[in-house]
Amino acid sequence: MKLIVGLGNPDPNFDGTRHNVGFATIEVLAAANNLDWQQKDKFKSSVAEGVLDGEKVILLKPRTYYNLSGDAVLAVKQFYKLENPDILILHDELALPFGIIRSRLGGADAGNNGVKSIISAIGEDFARIRIGIANEHTTNQDAADFVLGHFNHDENKALVEVKKHALLMAEAFIRGEFDHTTIEV
């Protein structure tokens, strides 16, 4: 069994923001596999479940808000008795330029409060897909304002490819073929 978590904020006001690229990406994975989202209060999340590539997969969008995502991940981990290497987190990464996607296993939070919350709750040895969001305006704004801002027109057009490559990495994770990879879109 695999748990794939997209990080984001549940309020519709955050739709289309850089901080919600994890939600947006996991929603494409659910739609591509005809999986329906259900509210699961015991997991503090929206959940979609199915069998992908012969593996039971749980897709999770925490409803705890981004910075408290660890609460939801811990609830699912404990309920299903999952090990950290069976957990994949998809999240925005301010330290990477837009169009760069990196996968890795373990590591520090790199200042990402959602990842910090998850590490605090379950430890750091889970898989990650880091989706770069930085652009030429990153240093001109407060980091919180930037991540909560919307993608510009060109970025929105390129997001289709970004999400496609992030999903290829997620599918490799499901098949047990996850590796440290960097892709530039």
Nearest-10 Cα torsion for 157, 158, 162, 168: 80
Per the CB < 8 A criterion, the answer to whether 91 and 128 are in contact is yes
Taking residue 178's Cβ as centre, other Cβ atoms within 10 Å add up to 21
User: pTM of the predicted model, to two decimals?
Assistant: 0.95
Q: Give residue-wise pLDDT tens across range 80-89.
A: 999 999 999 9
Active-site residue, selected from the candidate residues 19, 150, 153, 180: 19
Q: What pLDDT is recorded for position 168?
A: 94
Q: Alpha carbon of 31 to those of 25, 27, 36, 50, 80: distances in Å?
A: 10, 6, 8, 12, 24
Per the CB < 8 A criterion, the answer to whether 19 and 62 are in contact is no
Q: Give residue-wise pLDDT tens across range 115-161.
A: 999 999 999 999 999 999 998 888 888 888 899 999 999 999 999 99
How far separated are the first and last CA of the chain, in Å rounded? 30
Superfamily of domain 2-184: Peptidyl-tRNA hydrolase (3.40.50.1470)
| Mean pLDDT computed over 166-173 | 96
> Residue 34 has what DSSP assignment?
T
- Chain centroid to Cα 120, Å, comes to 17
Q: Is 19 a catalytic residue?
A: yes
Domain ranges of the chain: 2-184
Strands across the sheet with 100-105, in order? 38-40, 45-52, 55-62, 2-6, 87-97, 127-134, 100-105, 181-184
Q: What pLDDT is recorded for position 144?
A: 85
Write out the E strands in 15-160.
Answer: 38-40, 45-52, 55-62, 87-97, 100-105, 127-134
By DSSP bridging, strand 45-52 and strand 100-105 are: unpaired
As a whole number of angstroms, the distance between CA 58 and CA 1 comes to 8
As a whole number of angstroms, the distance between CA 32 and CA 93 comes to 24
Sign of the torsion angle spanned by Cα atoms 31, 54, 100, 141: positive
